[in-house]
Structure 1
Amino acid sequence: MRHALRIAAVGMALALGSGPMLAAESAPEAESELATLALRLNGALRPDVVYVARQGSRTYLDEASFATLDLVPRGTAPPRIDIGGRRYVELDGIAGLAHRVDGARQELVLEIEPTALGGTQASLAPGASLRPRRPDWGGFLNYSLFGYADRGTELAPSSQYASGAGEAVVFGPYGSGLVSAVANPSVFGYGQTQKLVRLDTNWRYDDVDTMRTVVAGDAISLPGSWGRAVRYAGLQYSSNFSLQPSFISYPLQSIGGLASLPSTVDIYANNVRLASQPVQSGPFAINNMPMITGAGEMSVVVRNAFGQEQVISQPFYVARDLLAPGLSQFAFDLGVPRYNYGIRSADYRGWLGSLVYREGISNELTLEGRAEGDNHVRGIGLSADALLGNAGVLTAGAVASIGERGTGTRLILGFSRQAQWFSFALRSTWASPDAQEVGEVGELGDLLAAPRLKRLAYATTSLSLGGGGSLALALAKREYWDFPGFDVGTLSYSRSAGPLGFFTLALSRSIGWPNQTQVYAGFSFLLGGSASGSAGYQNTRSGGSNNGYGIVSVQQAPPVGEGYGYRLLAQTDGRAEAGVEYASAIGRYGVEVARAYGSEAVRGSISGGVGFLGGSAFLARPITESFGLVRVGGVAGVDVLQDNVVVGRTDADGQLVISRIPAYNASKISIDPLSVPIDASVSKTREWVTSYQRTGVLIDFALRRERNALLRFVDGAGKPLPVGAMVEVEGRAERYPIGFDGEAFVSNLEGSHRLRVRSPGVVCEIEVKLGAADPAVSELGPYSCKGSNS
């Protein structure tokens, strides 16, 4: 034979000089020795075995095991051979790899330099959030009633009026629609009567998977970085990242290093531990790390199994204004502008359209383009947000417009930096005399009445003084070509007083119209629970007059569930207010009294909601976002919790409406099992839910009421059956033991059931009937077992 075949338990002991191996096979062109060995890589023993071959002085590892080494390809690929139907890779000559066979331990020992390994790639970006279920058809109506009356003064007569507001919402699998309105049916003293004004009417559809929103009807245009938000009726189609709260649209940070042994990596940002990640030997990269906004320092502590540590640090800057590379964002608006919103129901005139598109070009650059137009002007502009190293974000843009004034331009320049201790932002817009934009024309359509902006600039800065408090400064300047401008500046200082509260000092100054200086000093404090208060002094100087007064206020908001809240305010200039509000399961009710400048007034309000979902109609508090209808098997008095806070108890029908569930954010809804009747069993006590905007979600906690019985059994002589006898229920596999005094507790006996009692030498049968009106535990018997011997 050309090829020799040797099968021996000693394997390649002589060829490798390392001791006995497990098996040997034939190989082409030369004698080959085969063995199955354990693998030890960089000191760590792998759980599986590998195939090793020897030809002369060359050593080979089976190709499948070689692929798991995660070596970085360098130069030409190592030679490969086929032996016995299996492919092997030569280990000799691979840069950064040393090998030997430990015959005593039957191991192939590999030492690989960390730089020769592919290493670990890990991402810490959060996973997908809980997606909402498409809702069934339902709806709700919110209402609010308000009444006011005052006594009047010598200069003004008394007045009384009532008003109301409401909205109707219908929702289903294809989105949600709403109609809202305000009404002033009676106004005494002001000459207005019978006034009803429609506010908004639209239909909205959210596509959570693609993060897109469509609104048909009344909407507000999305302005981008330089336009105006304008009310209109028409069609809006836009990106909406808020549909997935866990989605991160801005560029995330990455950091890497080299681990000589399998290690654990701890990641810190500004000395705050963010995450921990195991890594293998070799280079590692931790990508997509959610960070705090702004500038800071990121550190990675690499700790191996021997307790050795290395620390890697690098500065970072996270800018939420930027988009991640390749990510785009857009908004399209087309419709008819609306004027006199809240005054007239349907004052629509002309047309408008706008398109905004943003795209992340790289981690450091995001570009935005916007085009707009209406009856008076057409405009187009381009802007860019650029991250300058770790210094901050530079914003620059240019806009050109052609309108009734002529051709105009605007330039935008800004820079912002946010950091742990010191942050600031600067932004300025310059406009030519003929510059114009959509939405600039006033309610009457008079272009000349609209002031022409020349320059708008603002600057803000904040400084953290550590234990010494924090300092903030804000400046704004507005100049017009044909109208007086004004400047405003505010300086504030705040400092914590520990558990007592915090101190605030604020100074503001406006120059132009009007010229005014205002100073406020105050202290805010907690009173226990949700109650809080404040005390301070405010002085205002304007137009040569000086007005100063002290202020004391105390307030407590109503609880999340049912309960009261209050508000008290007193000023040294004679003004005083007091109010109380009660929140019930079906509404909110408030009353306030006030006195100021020689006049007294009283105000009252009532608000609530009416809804329909899952075949049930209900009353509720005002539904401002989304809601949940909780059902607990028709059982009243069960405590319901939202995110571990009690929000109420089920009513007589076993239902409770949670009137505020934030849309697209997961909420944990649960019931307190201790409040469930003893004769009831539930399959679950909590459920994570999320909902679409302005919709409802049905949360059903299936509950089954049980009728149980404590039965007593005696023998023919009237003595209790002995302990250990068993009770069987026909049709069930369970058996129930008889305890002391011949008593046995048998569960779930509602209806008619036949029971058999087995005791040494005695067998008897009885029939038990329990109805829904029977108590949770019925005491039955004694039953005499006089049956025949079995």
Structure 2
Amino acid sequence: MAKLSSRRSSSTLRRVKPLLLAALWLPANVLAVTTAVPLLEPDPPGQADITLYLDVELNQQATGLLLPFVSRNGRLYASPDTLSRLDFQVADAGPGELIALDQLRGVEVHYDASMQRVSISAPLSQLDLQTTIVGVDRTEVVPATNSPGLLLNYDLYVNHGDLSSNATAFAELRAFGGKLGVFSTTAVTRAFRTSETDWSGDSVRLDSSWDLAFPQSMLSLRVGDVTTGNLSWTRAVRVGGIRIGRDFGLQPYRVTTPLPAFLGEAAVPSQLELYVNGVRQYSGEIPVGPFQLISQPGINGSGNAQVVITDAFGAVRTLDFPFYATQSLLARGLSDWSVTAGLVREDYGLRSFSYGDALVGSGEWRYGVSDDLTVEAHGEGGDGLANVGAGAVWSMGQLGVVSASYTDSRWDQHTGSQTALAYSWNSPRFNLSLSTQRTHGDYRDIASGYGQAPARISERALVGWNAPSVGNIGASYLRLQYPGAEASRYASTYWNRSFGGNSALNLSVNQNLDDSEDRSLYLGISVSLGERRMLNTSLQRNAGRDSINVDASQSVPTDGGLSWRLQASHLDPDAYQGLAEAGWLGDYGQVSGGVAGGGESWYGYAGANGGLVLMSGDVFASRRVNDAFAVVSTGDIPGVPVKLENRLVGSSNDNGLLLVTPLNAWQRNRLAIDPMDLPADMRLGKVEMFAVPSDRAGTEVQFEIQPVRAAVVVLHDAGGVPLAVGSSAALIDNPASAAFVGYDGEVYLDLLGDDNVLQVTTPEGVCRVSFEYPISPEPIPRIGPLTCIPEALP
């Protein structure tokens, strides 16, 4: 709101206004001004100036201010201080000078004497209003919690054939709890044999790390096996060591990229709506004055926005804004960085603890200089290597995005450099992407010392166009050349189109520009056969060989169930292959199996994957858990249905617990129970709670549900008449059980024991009644009528 901080609260106005109106009753009636007229009646001859304290409405919006005005000769005057509090642009005025409101350009004044209110309509050019910012909140931080526990993910696979057999087991173990972060390790165990060898195998550790997060600062720390951060013009390597840096995932509600800003102004309070490419993205209210709407556009590239303003009188205005959005930029003033140090990992997947001898380090930094310009820097070194570089990403508005970088390296006596330049432009109908990256001299980076050197030339070009009547058409070009090798150049083109949403046609051609014989052609047709069923046929020609494939499948449903796939292929000159498999996704994991092969060579295979969670004193079998999760407690009450985002996900087990997965880390996940599904003799607290777990960990969510002994007790007095409505009844040993007596002397109590003494306060005095809780099949039995015996007066 514009300058609302200088205005009094409406509650203060409500307290002061009656007194002021009473004090000003006489002058208000002396003026004898009728309701809603633009000018006051002339004051009687010789009448002195009359000071009025009026409730002010500016441009159809209540200000909540009670301000002094002066009535002089039938006109309203105001001091510069009063006008300034109403956000008018006030020129220099002398001491005690008053300004006639009706002399201000474009200002209309309506005075209501009966309500002691003045309504002022002023053009925005006369007002000095602050710009109201509406739209996306970039800074929301949601506190997360996690509870102690262990998690094991597993993936098992076996196959058996005449020529060979193998078995593979992959496992991931996580330990987490409180503020200690998450420790995880992964490993794979393999066993295999051939027709000529016996069974043999090995086990290899893959990655082990300890992760600690600091959400308020958007910082994360990882110790163990880490990957160096990389920009679009650098290469990442696996390192055993430490990595610390910015992690935007810790604040998922924060928007890190520049957002389109749509500017406008409203003369009266209005309703604002934003449409991007015809889809509504925002709706809200705005006060009088200029506004700036900041909204996530939901697209990447060129787009068209329409801002629709509906004012208090029902008039509608539409403002059109073309814009360009990109995910490659950082918002102005936002930075992203990381620092990594350690030993380079070697023989990954083959040996468990194979690391280089030299300590290496790497650092990256990005900063949003403005919403249109992001600068980048990178440095790495170790074992005699020094590599530094800088780059920038620049948005040219509707013309697209340009990025460029330069890197210099020195290793012993070897020097070199790398340059990169890229351009991209996207729109709903057309997209274009061009990039080139080249090395000069003997350019080196950390990855060069442990594997393939970077390409000397890497160039790409991609152009695409789509239209509903034609489909998607595109072409691409690729040129790659590695040190000591000839350049490779490939060109490709594709076309795909959907027909009525039930079928689609795909055509693509790839050509090696340096070898006319190296060409591939693909033609595929996909047809939907109903819910989750698809039929795919394709014709492919590659390196002079033709193949025809027919594939029918049913995908696995999200909530679990059966999936299957049948495939048949014909390969030139006269070979056939086939595949048949089936799978089942259940609450405790997924299993699958099938047979495949061709001719005289066939093999069978089977697999299973899932997870085990130890938490809250219980063990849960589940599907594979890749992200965060929660254990819901229903207070030892079994069979309570639990919903995640209004979708039923299961019921609590015999211990009153339910594992709910997957959840979104660092975000609010709405969990709820339906009280209508609970027995009548249950007491519950909240029926909806938000779970906010940290990344790859679990949190506990406890719904307070307690079984109670409840009954409807009917109370009469000594004459057999029901006790008066509104009488107060409570167990003498439990004041928290107090309840009011209703019609017919009935009172509902839910904290009863085996033997109960009830004290009742009635208009006639205090009485008591004793009773036992009956054995009854009814969850809420009816007891009585019971006679409440009056207590003797002291």
TM-score, length-normalised on structure 1?
A: 0.83
Question: Aligned AA for 1:665?
Answer: Q
Question: Aligned AA for 1:116?
Answer: Q
1:231-630 superposed matches below 5 A: 231-282=238-289, 284-291=290-297, 292-349=299-356, 350-375=358-383, 377-403=385-411, 406-442=414-450, 450=452, 453-510=455-512, 515-525=518-528, 527-528=530-531, 531-542=532-543, 545-560=544-559, 563-573=560-570, 574-630=576-632
Give the 3-state SS of the residue equivalent to 2:449 in structure 1.
coil
Shift of 1:7: 12
Shift of 1:100: 6.0
Deviations 1:688-718 (A, max 9, x none): 222111111101111111334577999999x
Give the 3-state SS of the residue equivalent to 1:439 in structure 2.
helix
The equivalent of 2:15 in structure 1 is none
| Residues 711 and 191 of structure 1: CA distance in aligned 2, closer, same or farther (over 3 Å) | same
CA contact (8 A) 1:729 1:753 kept: no
Q: Using the alignment, how far apart are the partners of 1:405 and 1:186 within structure 2? A: 47
| Residues 32 and 376 of structure 1: CA distance in aligned 2, closer, same or farther (over 3 Å) | same
Give the 3-state SS of the residue equivalent to 1:575 in structure 2.
strand
Q: Which range moves more in the overlay, 422-431 or 93-102?
A: 93-102
| Residues 640 and 481 of structure 1: CA distance in aligned 2, closer, same or farther (over 3 Å) | same
Asked if 1:166 corresponds to 2:183, the answer is: no
Q: Using the alignment, how far apart are the partners of 1:587 and 1:7 within structure 2? A: 79
Deviations 1:520-566 (A, max 9, x none): 312142532xx232321131321xx3121122221221543xx4332
Q: Using the alignment, how far apart are the partners of 2:192 and 2:679 within structure 1? A: 51
| Residues 764 and 336 of structure 1: CA distance in aligned 2, closer, same or farther (over 3 Å) | closer
Give the 3-state SS of the residue equivalent to 1:440 in structure 2.
helix
CA contact (8 A) 1:135 1:695 kept: yes
Return the match for 2:136 from 110, 125, 141: 125
Asked if 1:146 corresponds to 2:145, the answer is: no
Shift of 1:188: 5.6
Question: Aligned AA for 1:35?
Answer: L
CA contact (8 A) 2:191 2:202 kept: yes
Return the match for 2:87 from 47, 63, 70: 70
CA contact (8 A) 2:165 2:192 kept: no
| Residues 11 and 418 of structure 1: CA distance in aligned 2, closer, same or farther (over 3 Å) | same
| Residues 770 and 420 of structure 1: CA distance in aligned 2, closer, same or farther (over 3 Å) | farther
Deviations 1:554-611 (A, max 9, x none): 1221543xx4332212113343333333344443333333333432222223333333
Deviations 1:462-496 (A, max 9, x none): 32212443234333221234213323444333333
Asked if 1:184 corresponds to 2:190, the answer is: yes
Q: Using the alignment, how far apart are the partners of 2:605 and 2:154 within structure 1? A: 17
Q: Which range moves more in the overlay, 183-192 or 238-247?
A: 183-192
Q: Which range moves more in the overlay, 386-395 or 619-628?
A: 619-628
Question: Aligned AA for 1:126?
Answer: D
| Residues 733 and 223 of structure 1: CA distance in aligned 2, closer, same or farther (over 3 Å) | closer
Give the 3-state SS of the residue equivalent to 2:252 in structure 1.
coil
Give the 3-state SS of the residue equivalent to 2:184 in structure 1.
strand
Q: Using the alignment, how far apart are the partners of 2:581 and 2:435 within structure 1? A: 42
Shift of 1:64: 6.0
CA contact (8 A) 1:21 1:35 kept: no
Q: Using the alignment, how far apart are the partners of 2:690 and 2:790 within structure 1? A: 57
Shift of 1:194: 4.2
CA contact (8 A) 1:451 1:483 kept: no
The equivalent of 1:84 in structure 2 is none
Shift of 1:21: 8.8
Q: Which runs of 5+ in 1 are unaligned?
A: 1-5, 26-30, 82-87, 444-449
Return the match for 2:124 from 114, 123, 126: 114
Shift of 1:385: 0.9
Deviations 1:307-343 (A, max 9, x none): 3333322321112211122211111111110011111
Shift of 1:743: 9.8
The equivalent of 2:3 in structure 1 is none
Q: Which runs of 5+ in 2 are unaligned?
A: 1-23, 571-575
1:733-748 superposed matches below 5 A: 733-735=738-740, 747-748=750-751
| Residues 300 and 743 of structure 1: CA distance in aligned 2, closer, same or farther (over 3 Å) | closer
| Residues 345 and 695 of structure 1: CA distance in aligned 2, closer, same or farther (over 3 Å) | same
Return the match for 2:146 from 127, 130, 135: 135
Q: Using the alignment, how far apart are the partners of 2:148 and 2:708 within structure 1? A: 33
| Residues 776 and 141 of structure 1: CA distance in aligned 2, closer, same or farther (over 3 Å) | farther
CA contact (8 A) 1:627 1:697 kept: yes
Shift of 1:370: 1.0
Q: Using the alignment, how far apart are the partners of 2:790 and 2:76 within structure 1? A: 84
Q: Using the alignment, how far apart are the partners of 1:45 and 1:789 within structure 2? A: 60
Shift of 1:101: 7.5
Deviations 1:632-688 (A, max 9, x none): 122222222222222222211111112322212322222344443343232222222
CA contact (8 A) 2:40 2:74 kept: no
Deviations 1:84-118 (A, max 9, x none): xxxx8645798646476758666556453321223
CA contact (8 A) 1:58 1:90 kept: no
Shift of 1:219: 0.4
Shift of 1:428: 0.9
CA contact (8 A) 2:464 2:474 kept: yes
Q: Using the alignment, how far apart are the partners of 2:250 and 2:395 within structure 1? A: 27
Q: Using the alignment, how far apart are the partners of 1:17 and 1:591 within structure 2? A: 89
Q: Using the alignment, how far apart are the partners of 2:578 and 2:519 within structure 1? A: 25
Shift of 1:227: 1.0
Question: Aligned AA for 2:365?
Answer: Y
Deviations 1:108-129 (A, max 9, x none): 5645332122344223123654
The equivalent of 1:28 in structure 2 is none
Deviations 1:743-788 (A, max 9, x none): 99765535432368999x9x994522368xx755265778886989
Q: Using the alignment, how far apart are the partners of 2:788 and 2:305 within structure 1? A: 83
Q: Using the alignment, how far apart are the partners of 1:53 and 1:558 within structure 2? A: 75
Question: Aligned AA for 1:68?
Answer: R
Asked if 1:205 corresponds to 2:212, the answer is: yes
Q: Which range moves more in the overlay, 602-611 or 40-49?
A: 40-49
Q: Using the alignment, how far apart are the partners of 1:397 and 1:744 within structure 2? A: 79
CA contact (8 A) 1:405 1:435 kept: no
